[in-house]
């Protein structure tokens, strides 16, 4: 079963694929592209990560949530972990994980990160 993790990070999209070691080893040889020759890469031609599996509205929500996490956890922040703003942020992460699980259905297992731990979405 494939797994997805809802978590934030700088310059990220709010969603990550969790792979097991055997998947990582096989994916290095397949479809791995290397940019060379000094040519610039046009990102406008690149499809959005997860766009083949999730709706645009959910991807937009995940991106806004990820950006919110960057603002809360950025170098200029005065918000401490454990503050109510972080708790609200983590509740929204759980809601996004549940929405992601609904869209991916039972083909995926979705987790979300909160307070230093990973949590599984419970199937309805």
User: Has residue 32 been placed in a domain?
Assistant: no
Tens-digit pLDDT profile for residues 29-45? 433 333 334 444 454 55
User: Has residue 36 been placed in a domain?
Assistant: no
User: Has residue 8 been placed in a domain?
Assistant: yes
User: Has residue 42 been placed in a domain?
Assistant: no
Tens-digit pLDDT profile for residues 50-99? 999 999 999 999 999 999 999 998 877 777 777 899 999 999 999 999 99
User: Has residue 39 been placed in a domain?
Assistant: no
User: Has residue 37 been placed in a domain?
Assistant: no
Judge contact between 96 and 14, C-beta under 8 A. yes
Contacts of residues 21-25 at CB distance under 8 Å and 24 or more positions apart, as own/partner, are: none
Number of domains in the chain: 1
Question: Range of 18's domain?
Answer: 2-23+50-120
User: Has residue 41 been placed in a domain?
Assistant: no
């Amino acid at each position: 079963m494939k797994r997805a993790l809802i978590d934030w990070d700088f310059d990220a999209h709010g969603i990550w694929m969790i792979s097991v070691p055997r998947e990582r080893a096989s994916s290095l040889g397949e479809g791995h592209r290397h940019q060379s020759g000094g040519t610039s890469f046009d990102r406008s031609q690149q499809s959005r990560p997860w766009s083949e599996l999730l709706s645009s509205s959910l991807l937009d929500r995940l991106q806004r949530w990820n950006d919110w996490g960057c603002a809360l956890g950025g170098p200029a922040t005065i918000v401490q972990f454990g503050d109510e703003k972080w708790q609200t942020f983590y509740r929204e992460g759980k809601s996004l994980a549940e929405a992601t699980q609904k869209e991916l259905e039972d083909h995926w297992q979705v987790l979300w990160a909160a307070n230093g731990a990973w949590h599984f979405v419970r199937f309805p």
